[in-house]
Structure 1
């Protein structure tokens, strides 16, 4: 659980006007009592009216309300557009989450701002992304999260097929085309695999440990370096 989410949950548990011990909060949130003590101090420092002390318990004075969630017009447009794009081009799980996010955003907006959600006239038609492709996105995302080594049946641009064991590192979307960034054990190097050229993806049962030399950050650094080199060579060629 993110710390921001934990702080929110602490406020929610204390809203009933009853004494709650740090031990009880720690058990509910699956953290140590020391973590709860630090969180309570931080909440008190921001003005949340929590009374009590370590070893006794905490209670929140009545009358405290979390401020309503406020977005500017541009922020609402950005959130709605982003959610619509994810619904159109994301995986199955992403699509469901984007739909739920839109419902939640609209629910917490003030009445005067709710109409902006439906009034946003920016769309992303989901033409050409089949259910199988969405499921493959989900499977790649799950493998990335679990750091699971996967086996791919892959076809390159010349339709030559190969089997690859890959450490999946990230997913990049290029507009209609998703690519899986990973460390290819066959090539012993970074590779990008177009999802529409993956005919089969299966788990190998292996799990890889984080490695700075084989990380998404290192891949991004190398890509940036290559791009800067390309720009320099292009500039020299034009002089």
Structure 2
């Protein structure tokens, strides 16, 4: 099993456990539909959780739930850790990609839910007294970063319609995502292997007009990001990556 598949399954097992804790019961059908996997996979996941010591019970005619009284142990954060999360939330709120803001907000909501009351009150107070000075107008220029992150970590090809600066027409590209960075002009940029040009190119995410994931996989590129950066430095003498 590939590394990314292991991470994906671990994430799904954790999410299933949270759903079991949050609901009186859940059905195999609903879990299968929600996680976009087969019912057989869900049964295997439940068996893995049981093997790990989670007391899952079958509720006749309804579905599966957790034994009464079982709860995940709360995650304990120090005040400094909670404050760091608040700063992260404030900084992400100024990014120009809406999908990243949405996902980070969901994550921090879950984290705040397990904070002790005193920590949560202090974190809320700190949030009210913190200003991040970038992107004052809270401009949103893209909504694709979350999909690109998923494609990158799962080695999935993405298909985009892309419009260069000053161009009047879009170009169609199939890309193999390699890395993401945030440039000095506060734009998110994707580095990817372009199947049209047969080389690595950079693509500003705010210039992507449409993005789909057609379900194709690609073989992970062997070089690291550090190696890629060194190659670009030598090749372009500080001029940067070839623009898409």
Greater RCO, 1 or 2 (C-alpha within 8 Å, sep 6+): 2
Higher strand proportion, which one?
A: 1
The Cα of 1:40 is off from its aligned counterpart by 0.8
**Alignment of 1:194 onto 2:194:** no
| TM-score, normalised with respect to structure 2 | 0.61
Higher helix proportion, which one?
A: 1
1:77 equivalent among 61, 83, 87: 83
Q: How does 1:1-239 map to 2 (within 5 A)?
A: 2-12=12-22, 26-30=28-32, 31-44=41-54, 50=55, 62-120=68-126, 121-125=129-133, 126-127=135-136, 130-131=139-140, 133-135=141-143, 137=145, 147-155=157-165, 163=171, 165-167=173-175, 169=177, 170-175=179-184, 176-195=186-205, 198=207, 201-202=209-210, 208-213=216-221, 218=223, 220=225, 222-223=227-228, 225-226=230-231
Q: Distance in 1 between matches of 2:53 and 2:83?
A: 31
Answer whether contact 1:90 1:137 (CA < 8 A) is retained.
no
The Cα of 1:205 is off from its aligned counterpart by 8.8
Q: Distance in 1 between matches of 2:149 and 2:119?
A: 34
Larger radius of gyration: 1
What runs of 5+ residues in structure 1 fail to find an aligned partner? 45-49, 231-239
What runs of 5+ residues in structure 2 fail to find an aligned partner? 1-10, 33-40, 236-244
Q: Residues 128-150 of structure 1, C-alpha deviation per residue, up to 9 Å, x if partnerless?
A: 6623x134656766876863222
Answer whether contact 1:181 1:191 (CA < 8 A) is retained.
yes
The Cα of 1:219 is off from its aligned counterpart by 5.8
- When the two chains are superposed, the root-mean-square deviation of aligned CA atoms in Å is 4.2
The Cα of 1:32 is off from its aligned counterpart by 4.3
Q: What is the aligned length? A: 205
Q: Distance in 2 between matches of 1:124 and 1:166?
A: 36
Query: What secondary structure sits across from 1:124 in the alignment?
Result: coil
Answer whether contact 1:150 1:204 (CA < 8 A) is retained.
yes
Q: Distance in 2 between matches of 1:185 and 1:59?
A: 47
Q: Distance in 1 between matches of 2:45 and 2:112?
A: 33
The Cα of 1:167 is off from its aligned counterpart by 0.4
The Cα of 1:189 is off from its aligned counterpart by 0.8
Answer whether contact 1:7 1:43 (CA < 8 A) is retained.
no
Q: Distance in 1 between matches of 2:183 and 2:137?
A: 14
